[in-house]
Amino acid sequence: MPATILDGNKIAAEIRAEAAAAVRSMSAAGIAPGLAVVLVGNNPASEIYVRGKVKSCEEVGIYSEKHTPPESVTTEDLLALVEDLNRRDEIDGILVQLPLPRQVDSKKVLLAVDPAKDVDGFHPMNVGFLSTQRPGLVPCTPAGIMEMLERSGIPVAGQEAVVVGRSDIVGKPMAMLLLNANATVTVCHSKTRDLAGVCRRADILVAAIGRAGLVTEHFVRPGATVVDVGMNRVTDAEEFARLFRGNLKREEMFRTKGSVLVGDVHPEVAEIAGAITPVPGGVGPLTIAMLMSNTVKAAKMRRGSIGAVA
């Protein structure tokens, strides 16, 4: 029996609606949450992401502004911009869109963001809060995945969870959130021996390694919940055939556009998993929805009205 599809668009809409309701009640008290996005240069993928974030702000009622320094920007210029945004009281969240140009010290810039305004949850102080279960801002993608599991009625406590990928943005915070929710967690990476064997133990398998269709049916225990964080564009005809041979809809799309999007999980996994996130329409929409939620949370925490919000 094919897997239950975990609809990220539907859950993201619920989260945005909750954020919009919170913004309305804050507005009644004279508080308007504000988000500043810093987008350097002309990276087309980054521009699409930022457009989506600004549009979401409009829908939810969050004030937003976009800062677009040139590709030639220096580390010092960006540090000065971040410092200015840190000082401005009407800005509750600061998001520096990655990647930054090669000449910029990205770590230095991210470290300069006020932890109370770090809506990406990347600052070491927020990482520390997460690992010690204190109130703070949590990275949007892993936080969105936890919301999806909870709202889909998928139990986490006592379950065996495997996270494939150890990035600071997804893999590590995902493992920490699952651990905090009382799962037994294994983190896998490029040096893991018998990756498929380790993954097959999982009740919940999170694939966040950035390799198209790496996780095949041999990696998945029948009935497991599979969360696909990957977003890979496939342009090679041979690679496309390995993933989508016989899928007429995708074949037509590949012929027309010359590329298709695929996650880190091979489409065949949908035949044996208990539940699975699609690509696109799974984890992606949740990331932006949680950014809205984090901006509202930052506004409330900065103004002392909460310790943290769910």
pLDDT in tens, 76-96: 999 999 999 999 999 999 999
**In the block, residue with structure tokens 């990756």:** 195
Is the pLDDT at 308 greater than 70? The verdict is no
192 token code pair: 């893991």
Give the chain's end-to-end CA distance (angstroms, integer). 34
Please confirm whether the linkage preceding 155 is cis (ω < 30° from 0).
no
pLDDT confidence band for 306 (50 / 70 / 90): low
Is 141-284 assigned to CATH 3.40.50.720? yes
pLDDT confidence band for 307 (50 / 70 / 90): very low
CATH 3.40.50.10860 in the chain is located at: 30-114
Is the pLDDT at 68 greater than 90? The verdict is yes
CATH 3.40.50.720 in the chain is located at: 141-284
Is the pLDDT at 126 greater than 60? The verdict is yes
Q: What is the pLDDT of residue 1?
A: 76
**In the block, residue with structure tokens 């930022």:** 50
DSSP-derived secondary structure letter, 168: T
Q: What is the pTM of this model?
A: 0.94
Architecture of domain 30-114: 3-Layer(aba) Sandwich (3.40)
Q: Where does residue 63 rank: exposed (0-12), middle (13-18), buried (19+ CB within 10 A)?
A: middle
Q: Render pLDDT for 284-304 as a digit per residue (tens, 0 to 9).
A: 999 999 999 999 999 999 987
- Report the pLDDT averaged over residues 173-200: 97
Distance CA 111, CA 192 (A): 30
Residues acting as catalytic residues: 53, 97, 120
Q: Is 39 helix (H, G, I), strand (E, B) or coil?
A: coil
